[in-house]
Amino acid sequence: MKWRPNNEDDDQFNPFNFFNFHHMNQLDLKGRNGIVTGGARGIGLAIAQRLLDSGATVSLWDRDQSALDGTAKSLGLKDRVHTAVVDISNPDSVRNAAAVTLKHFGKVDILVNNAGIAGVTKKLWECTPAEWHEVLQVNLFGVFLCCHAMVPSMIANGYGRIVNIASIAGKEGNPNASHYSAAKAGVIALTKSLAKEVARTGVIVNCITPAVIETDILKQVTQEHIDYMLSKIPMGRFGLKEEAAALVAWLCSGDCSFTTGAAFDLSGGRATY
């Protein structure tokens, strides 16, 4: 089956036939300020929209200025949407964005580490060191840098919700994606370690491990790799970004109060452990 965005012209099950994610009952996030990295498009934008729908104000962090400008305009919520151009793999860039965002909001309650890249589709020994390193820098080191910048203020405020977007690849290891799999495994371990370090501070840290979510990141990988990933999902479809956003929103809420250091699968039945 060829991948098509948003299940266009596809007769497979589409949850939008049964649920309207945008108009579902929202969580109460009024008074909460959040950061969503990679927030200009895809899963990040869906998460930001869900947080906004629930009453939060949101800072979109992305390295693409034009995409940020377009997204902020399309959201149409000038008083509740903040943007910052950030390279999450660069310590100075993250540090500066954190300072600007904290100054703008006064406090940050929520951090969603979503930004990531797929990298090349190659066997481990075919990857150049630069290709391998780039994926680790963005997908793992970037999560460290954002947490490093924001956790101290959350501890000082006695409240925080951090959600890291990992992947089922970090649990199972996808062939021809050793860099991505290793980075996401690192994100899972980072989540568990940080959660224990801040467990008594009011800061809660969790991650989600999606199988494949339908976004433009699929354009970065081969059809063969897409077919491989789809073949592993018993439901026979990819996840939707709105489904990921719904789970993340709950993890960002005060209702998530006794769950920390956890990895929540979003895999259409691929992961049953």
Catalytic residue positions, numbered: 180
Element (H, E) at 162: strand 160-165
Q: Give Cα 86 distance to the centre of its chain.
A: 15
Q: Which two tokens stand for residue 188?
A: 């899972």
Q: What is the DSSP letter of 140?
A: I
Burial of 34 (0-12, 13-18, 19+ CB in 10 A): buried
208 in Cβ contact with 264 (< 8 Å): yes
Cα separation, 11 vs 234, whole angstroms: 16
Element (H, E) at 209: strand 203-210
Strand pairing class (81-85; 160-165):
unpaired
Cα separation, 62 vs 88, whole angstroms: 8
